[in-house]
Copies of this chain bind each other. A is one copy, B any other.
Amino acid sequence: MNVNDEKMIPEIVARLEKAWNAADGAGFAQPFAEDADFVNIRADHFKTREVIARGHQGIFDTIYKGSVVRYQMAGVREIAPRVLLVHVNATLQVPAGPFAGTHNSLFTMVLVQNENEWRIAAFHNTLVA
Contact = CB atoms under 8 A, between A and B. Distances in A.
A128 B43 contact: yes
A85 B121 contact: yes
Interface in A53-82: 74-75, 77, 79-82
A35 interface: yes
A40 B87 CA distance: 13
Interface residues of A, number: 34
Contacts of A106: 39, 43, 45
A1 interface: no
Interface of A: 35, 37, 39-45, 74-75, 77, 79-83, 85, 87, 104-108, 110, 112, 121-122, 124-129
18 contacts: A37-B87, A39-B106, A40-B126, A41-B126, A42-B128, A43-B106, A43-B128, A45-B74, A45-B87, A45-B106, A79-B110, A80-B80, A80-B81, A83-B83, A85-B122, A108-B108, A108-B122, A110-B110
